[in-house]
Amino acid sequence: MSEEERKMKAFLCDLFNGFYPDCSDIDGGTLQDLAEKHKILLPEIRYKPCDEFCNCAQTFSDEEFKEGVKCYRLANWLSEIKK
């Protein structure tokens, strides 16, 4: 099993252990925390929006960007996932 497969398996195990079988709603923050824990989402400090569809640009002001904001990016090995 590759390192990427191990990360994804651990992520899915945590996800299903927390939310299955009752299938309660998954909070976006919880999903983000799990993805960061398993290195599926990687935090980086950004000083400007990454592109015209940047989610952070909708959340943070220009002033906050000047100070640097934590942005989460998909790990490179998941680059096939579309925005």
pLDDT, tens digit (0-9, with 9 covering 90-100), for 47-65: 998 877 788 888 899 999 9
User: In 21-76, which ranges are continuous DSSP H helix?
Assistant: 28-37, 55-59, 62-67
Confidence bin at 83 (pLDDT 50/70/90): low
Calpha distance 30→36 (Å, rounded)? 10
Q: Which of 30, 32, 41, 31 is nearest to 7 (CA)?
A: 41
Calpha distance 11→41 (Å, rounded)? 11
Kindly give, in sequence order, each residue whose CB lies less than 8 Å from that of residue 50, ignoring residues fewer than 6 positions away: 56, 71, 73
Q: What average pLDDT does this structure show over 33-46?
A: 94
Q: Which structure tokens are listed for 11? A: 């992520």
